[in-house]
């Protein structure tokens, strides 16, 4: 297990984005939240329905090369922002994965520094995912 994650999603066939380094922090850190729906009927009765729980995973990536960032740009705008599910593999060399959606639909990669190649940068960003339990 090398702890270098990958993302897999369906878009005209299976697409895979493999990171080059493992993320900062502990991927297994858990933040459970209730998935609830509160409604008010015509007679004023308030009813709260508790559905499933969700596990929120906030993962910080650093030292991400331009090639991976470009793939993620396309993935975020063409797939993840639409609320579609994708597979997150904690380690690219393992078969085990979790099926997640974006919890926070934001994509804000920040340039850490430029490389020696013209117009190529190294990025950092955070992805917040939600796993339905």
1 within a domain of the structure (yes/no): no
What stretches of the chain adopt beta strand conformation (E)? 6-10, 14-18, 31-40, 46-65, 86-89, 98-102, 110-114, 121-132
Write out the H or E segment, with its range, that includes residue 72: helix 66-78
pLDDT of 91-114, one tens digit each?
A: 999 999 999 999 888 889 999 999
Q: pLDDT tens for residues 21-80?
A: 989 876 666 666 666 778 888 888 888 877 666 788 888 999 999 999 999 999 999 999
**Is 44 domain-assigned?**
yes
Query: Residue 109 sits in which domain range?
Result: 6-132
Domain count, the chain: 1
């Amino acid at each position: 297990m090398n702890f270098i994650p990958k993302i897999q999603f369906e878009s005209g066939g299976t697409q895979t984005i493999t990171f080059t380094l493992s993320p900062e922090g502990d991927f297994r850190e858990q933040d459970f939240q209730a998935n609830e729906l509160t409604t008010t009927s015509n007679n004023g009765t308030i009813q709260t329905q508790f559905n499933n729980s969700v596990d929120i995973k906030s993962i910080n990536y650093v030292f991400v090369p331009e090639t991976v960032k470009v793939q993620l740009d396309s993935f975020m705008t063409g797939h993840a922002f639409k609320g579609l599910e994708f597979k997150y593999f904690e380690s690219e060399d393992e078969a085990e994965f979790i099926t997640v959606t974006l919890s926070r639909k934001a994509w804000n990669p920040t340039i850490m520094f430029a490389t020696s190649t013209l117009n190529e940068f190294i990025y950092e960003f955070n992805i917040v995912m939600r796993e339905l339990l």
